[in-house]
Amino acid sequence: MGLGIGPRGGGGRLTAMGDILPFKRKTAWQKHKGSSLCRDGFHKWQVVTEKKFDVKQGKLVTEYRCQRCGKTKIKLL
């Protein structure tokens, strides 16, 4: 039998409760990697079709498209 802790005898590195693990500070490139305005929900909406009438719902429809990513959204008035 091994001297490790756990059901399988352990084999990994054991740390005491009070040990502090060092963390590396992120570089500027890592900090901003993948953060784009559109990914964070800040789109640049532009009106594509304004005030179409939806017969089924009986409301005016305005369609918006993001200039940066091309995502579309529809707003009923």
In this prediction, residue 45 carries a pLDDT of 93
Q: pTM of the entire structure?
A: 0.50
Domain limits, the chain? 41-76
Question: Which position has the higher pLDDT, 71 or 57?
Answer: 71
The rounded distance, in Å, linking the Cα atoms of 1 and 24 is 37
- The pLDDT value given to residue 48: 92
Condensed to tens digits (0 to 9), the pLDDT of residues 19-69 reads 777 788 888 777 766 557 887 888 899 999 877 888 788 888 899 999 888
Query: What region, left, alpha or beta, does residue 31 occupy, with left being phi > 0 and alpha being psi -120 to 50 degrees?
Result: alpha
